[in-house]
Structure 1
């Protein structure tokens, strides 16, 4: 699969968030502020998972349709993967 610049940029932003969380911990910041930032990072990661799985699913479904193959199992696997990631 080709990972787009957009996907990579999302992960880089999440990396920055995680580094900021570590810095907050080292500085002894308030628990509430820390949890807010951790939640934001988790949500960003969840959204990125959706983008990656959705893009991959689209590519795979197109390929299977072009080859005359059934896509039901592929779609079921993608949904299962998304459910497990939560």
Structure 2
């Protein structure tokens, strides 16, 4: 699978958020602010997982249809990845 610039930018943004959270912790910032930022990163990770899985699924389904393969198994595997990521 090829990871496009949008996916990579999402991860870079999360990396920046995590560094910001670490700085907040080192500076002794309020717990509420740290938790808010951690929740934002968790949400961003969940969304990125969805983007990666769905993009990969599209690629795999197109390839399977070209080669006469079963798409049902691919869809079930993708759903399993999403469920297990939580």
- 2:2 is the counterpart of 1:2: yes
Q: What does the per-residue CA deviation read over 1:38-78, in whole Å, with 9 as the maximum and x for residues that have no partner?
A: 00000001100100000000000000011111111111010
Q: How many residues align?
A: 86
Whole-Å separation in 2 of the counterparts to 1:18 and 1:85: 19
- Equivalence for 1:13: 13
TM-score (norm 2): 0.98
- Equivalence for 1:51: 51
- Equivalence for 2:26: 26
**Cα-Cα RMSD:** 0.5
Runs (5+) with no aligned partner, structure 2 = none
TM-score (norm 1): 0.98
Task: Please report how far the alpha carbon of residue 35 of structure 1 lies from its aligned counterpart in structure 2 after TM superposition.
Answer: 0.2
Whole-Å separation in 1 of the counterparts to 2:77 and 2:61: 12
